[in-house]
Amino acid sequence: MSAYLISALPVLAGYLMGSIPFGLLLARTKNVDPRRVGSGNIGATNVLRSAGKLPALLTLLADGLKGAAAVGLARLAGLDPFWQGLAGLAAVVGHCLPVFLKFKGGKGVATGLGVICAYAPLMGVAGLAVWILTAAVSRYSSLSALSAFALMPVAGFLLGAGKAKILIVVVLFAFILWTHRGNVTRLLGGTERKIGEREKTA
């Protein structure tokens, strides 16, 4: 078996782990399908709107852990930091474009934070701090996520992280920005919903 194939297997495993729709499974314990509520995605923010605090908290933890697990698996396989990062990126892609849900998933925030906390812990801590602070002040989940992921490459540079790690985090930020393109439009237009805010009904 070639070295590239051996390296690719944990990346494929990362994608499959990322594709596990924890948000959907946990929301269904409340007889709710988050794909039919709010933003229609399976991430923790929309689970909070549709199914409540406990399923949302468990979704946040499970989605973060699957990102961390993808990096951990690649590390256990003896892969270098670049391939570990690719495995983490694959988990985020799997969460956002899950094969089990016809490629319609979440937006990758919790999974991405789990990846970074396992891949480059100091960058992850910096990102989490920015997310918490921005969420507390603005109560916009999307703005908090974008602020956190935008800061992490800067934090990596200041902390002296290697080029491979900074590159992976930059790519991750670009992907998170793409998944939040609709949120950016709503933020600019003043129509973005805040954390925990349900859809307005007539």
Taking a C-beta distance cutoff of 8 angstroms, is the pair 164, 82 a contact?
yes
Per-residue pLDDT at 162: 85
**What percent of the chain is predicted at pLDDT more than 70?**
95
Instruction: Record the tokens describing residue 17, joined without a space.
Output: 């782990």
| Tens-place pLDDT, residues 88-114 | 999 999 999 999 999 999 999 999 999
**What is this structure's pTM?**
0.91
pLDDT at residue 193, as a whole number: 85
pLDDT reported for residue 198: 61
Tokens at residue 49, please?
């709107």
List the domain boundaries for the chain.
3-189
Q: Is pLDDT of 20 > 60? A: yes
pLDDT of 195 reads 81
Contact 102, 149 (CB under 8 A): no
